[in-house]
Structure 1
Amino acid sequence: MSSPIPGVVAWAVIGYLAVGLSGWLWLVRGTDVDRFDNRMGRLVIHMGLWCIVALLMYRCASTPTIDDPANQLALGCVLMTTTYLYSIGRLISADSVPETVWRNQRNAGLVALAATASIVLTAAAVRYSGRTVDLRLARDGLGIGCAFAVPLTYNTFVFARGCLGAFRDIDTPRAARIVSFGMIGSIAIIWGAQALSLSQLTTGWPDGPPLSLVPAAFTLFVALGSTLLAVPLVAELMLRAGMDRATRTYRRLLPLWRDLTAAVPEIVMPVDTRYGSDPATRLLRMTVEIRDAMLHLGAYLPAESDATQRNTVRKPESNRAITDYAHRLIRAAQARKAGLPPAGTGAPPPLPMGAHDFDTELAHLIDLARIWPQAKAAVE
C-alpha cells in the first residue's frame, strides 16, 4: 500500500470510528430521543459510514497519485462525507425546516456524485490518451481540483458556521459547546490541507505528491471528530449508570423527600409516564414536592428560640440556623403524622433563608438534606 498514513494508524482510526458508530446506533435506536436528535443521529451514522468507506479506499490505493481509481473514488467518498456536514450545519443553524433535512441531503449528495463522476471521467480520459493527470495549474488538473475543492469548501463552511452559532449561543449546553468548538478545529484541518495543496500547485511547496495531503488531513479529521462525537455517548452512559448530576442530586434529596412526603402524602404528584424517567424532570418534581410539604408543615413548626433568631439575622446561611430548622421540621412532620393539631405559630418561611431562583433553592435543599440524617437522629 502507498498511503501516506501508516497501516497501524489507519486501521486504528477505522476501528475507533466503528466503535463510535455502534454507540451512536444504540443511542438513536435504544434511547428515547426527540425527532431533532433522531435526525442528527442518523446523519452522523451515515456520515461515519462514508468515512469508513473513504479510509478503506485509501488503503486500497496502489499509488499516491490521482491516476489510481481508488484515490479517485476516495475523493468522492470524502465529498459524500462533507454533504452530511452540510446537512448537520443547516440543521443546527435552523437554516432549513427539520422535515426537509433528507431532501436537502439528497440534493447535496447528487452534487457530490456529479463532482465524483467528473473526477473519474476526467482521469479516465487522460489515462486513455496515454498521459498522466497533472494536478498543477493545467486544464485537467484544474478541473479535478475545482470539482473536489468547491463542494468540499462550501459544505464545510456551512457546517462550521452552524457550529460557530451553537458555540456562541448561551443556551447551548457546555458539552455541546465543547463539541462545536472542537468540530470547528477539525474543519480547520481540512482547510489547512486545502491551503497546502494550493501552495503545492502554485509554488511546489511542500514537496511530495499533492494528493498525499488529503488522506492525511482526512484521517486526522476522522480521528478528532470521532473523539468529539463520543461526548454524547459518554453522557448517555453516565445517565444510564446514574452518574449524571441530576440523578446524583436526586439521590441526595431522597431521604428528605421520603420523610416529608410520609407526613404529607397528599402532595405527591402522579408520575407522568412520558417524562417520568428523565432525571431533570424527576429532580424538578421532587423539589416541588419537598417545597409543598414544607409549606403544609409550616403550621406545625415549633417556635424558634431567640438565639436562633439572632443567629439567622446575622448569618442566615449558617449551619446552626439550618440545623435548628431541620430539628423543627422533623418535629413538625412527627406531629402531623401523629394527628396532632397545628402548633398555632402561623406558617413561617419554609427555609430560614430566601431563594429567588431554582438553583439557589436547590442548593438550600441540598444543605438541608446533608444534615438531615444527623438532625433526625438527634430528635428521635
Structure 2
Amino acid sequence: MSGAAPMWLMVPVFVLQVAVTVGRWLLVNETPADGLINRALSFSAVCVFAALWDTDLGSDGYPSRVFLVCGVLALASVYGLAELFDGADPAAARRRQWAYDAFAVSGAVLLLLGDGLASPANWWRTLLWVAVFQVPMAAAGVRTMRACLREMPRARSLRERIAYSALLVTAAYWCAAALFATATSILRGVTYPTQWTVTSCLVYLFVTLLTAVPLVRAAGAHSGLDRTGRELRTLHPLWRDLTTAVPEVVLRPPAGRTTEPDSRLYRMVVETRDALQHLRMYMPLDNSGEPSIAAYARQIAQAVDAKAAGATPSAGRAARENRYAGQDLNAELLHLLELARAWPGALSQPARASRR
C-alpha cells in the first residue's frame, strides 16, 4: 500500500476530485466551513496534478515545488476548518486563515532555499518539515476528533452519525500518520516524498467521496429532482418576497457548518412563518369567516404593500387568532407550500400589479 500509485488509480482520483471541487465551488459555498473545504480540495487537486505531471517528486523539479507549496496550503486550510469545527469564532476565520497561510508558505519557501528538496537533511530542516506538515496535520486530527466525539451524541439522524463516524476515522488516520512521520523524521532525518503512494490516493479518494455528499444533495435540491429540492423551489418565491418585506426575520446559517438542503428548508419555513406573523399587523380586516388560501394570499400581498407604504401596524390585528399556530413543522410546511402555490396569483391581481 506504500508503493507508487499506478496511473490507473491516480487519474480517476484526480478527475473525481476536480469534478467535486468545481461542483462545490458552484453549489456548496455558503459558509466559512464550505469555503475552507473548497480551498483544501483545490490545493489538493493541484498536488495530485503535480504528481501526475512528474511521478518523481524527489527530483526537486518544478512539480515537486508546486506539490510542496500547495500541500502546506491545503494543510493550513484543513487546520482552519478543524478549528472552526471545534468551536472557534467564525467571525475571525478569515483573519486566522491569513496567518496560517503565511506560516505555511514561509515554511515551504525556507525548505526550498539552497538546493531545495535535494539539500541534505539537517536538524533545522527536519524541525521545519515537522512544523509545517506534521504538526498541523496532527493538530487538525485532534481537534476534528474532539468535535466529532462532542457532536455524535447530538446527531439527529443515522446519516449524520455515519458522517461523523467517517470523519472521526479520517481524523484518527491523520493523527497516526503525523505521529509516525514525525518519529521517522526525528530518528532518521527528514525524508521528502518522492512519489504519490497508493495509500495517499486511497485516503484522498475517501476524503473526496466524503466531501461529495453535500454536493450530491445540493445538486438534487438545485435541480429539483428530489423532494426537498422541489419543496425549496416551490417555497422560494414566497420566502424571497416575505423576507424582503421583513428582513429582520432572516436567520444566519450556523457558524462553521455547511448548509444542507434540509437545514435550508427548515430555515425557510421558520423565516416565512415569522414574516407572516409580523405582516399580520398590516393585514386588512376580514369578517367573511375563514378565507380560502387564495384570499389569504391576497391579504398577505396587501399587507406587504401596506408595510412598504409606511402604514401604521395594528397590534389588534396581530392579536387575532392565527389558525395556523401550533402546527408541527410538517403541517406548517404543507400549509406554506399551499400558500406558495397561490402566491403568484396574489401578485397578479390588477390593483397590486399596477403598483409593482
Q: TM-score range by the shorter chain?
A: 0.5 to 0.7
Same amino acid, percent of matched pairs: 14
What's the CA shift string for 1:121-157, capped at 9, x where partnerless? 47445xxxxxxxxxxxxxx477665443343221113
Q: TM-score, normalised by structure 1?
A: 0.53
Do the aligned residues in 2 keep the contact of 1:90 with 1:162 (CA within 8 Å)? Answer: yes
Q: In structure 2, the residue corresponding to 1:5 is in which secondary structure?
A: coil
Paired residues for 1:210-249 under 5 Å? 215-242=197-224, 248-249=230-231
Call closer, same or farther: CA 1:253–1:350 in 2, change over 3 Å: farther
Distance apart, 1:286 and its partner CA: 4.9
Q: Does 2:330 match 1:363?
A: yes
What code does the residue aligned with 1:232 have? P
Aligned-pair Cα RMSD in Å: 5.4
Report what 1:342 is aligned to. none
Distance apart, 1:9 and its partner CA: 0.2
Q: Does 2:323 match 1:350?
A: yes
Q: Does 2:56 match 1:61?
A: yes
Query: Larger Rg: 1 or 2?
Result: 1
Q: In structure 2, the residue corresponding to 1:60 is in which secondary structure?
A: coil
What's the CA shift string for 1:90-114, capped at 9, x where partnerless? 3444268224122331222212332
Q: In structure 1, the residue corresponding to 2:197 is in which secondary structure?
A: helix
Q: Does 2:36 match 1:40?
A: yes
State the alpha-carbon separation in 1 of the partners of residues 337 and 268 from structure 2: 19
State the alpha-carbon separation in 1 of the partners of residues 156 and 110 from structure 2: 38
Q: Which runs of 5+ in 2 are unaligned?
A: 252-263, 300-319, 339-356
Distance apart, 1:240 and its partner CA: 1.1
Report what 2:270 is aligned to. 284
State the alpha-carbon separation in 2 of the partners of residues 20 and 247 from structure 1: 20
Q: Does 2:51 match 1:84?
A: no
Q: TM-score, normalised by structure 2?
A: 0.56
Distance apart, 1:224 and its partner CA: 1.6
Distance apart, 1:14 and its partner CA: 1.2
State the alpha-carbon separation in 2 of the partners of residues 235 and 13 from structure 1: 21
Report what 2:130 is aligned to. 149
Do the aligned residues in 2 keep the contact of 1:53 with 1:77 (CA within 8 Å)? Answer: no
Call closer, same or farther: CA 1:86–1:6 in 2, change over 3 Å: same
Q: In structure 1, the residue corresponding to 2:328 is in which secondary structure?
A: helix
Paired residues for 1:1-380 under 5 Å? 4-27=4-27, 33=30, 36=32, 39-40=35-36, 43-56=39-52, 59-61=54-56, 68-69=59-60, 73=65, 74=67, 77-92=70-85, 93-94=87-88, 97-100=92-95, 101-117=97-113, 121=116, 123-125=118-120, 140=121, 146-164=127-145, 166-167=147-148, 168-169=150-151, 181-194=165-178, 215-242=197-224, 248-249=230-231, 269=242, 271-272=244-245, 279-280=265-266, 282-284=268-270, 286-287=272-273, 350=323, 355=326, 361-365=328-332
State the alpha-carbon separation in 1 of the partners of residues 184 and 99 from structure 2: 37
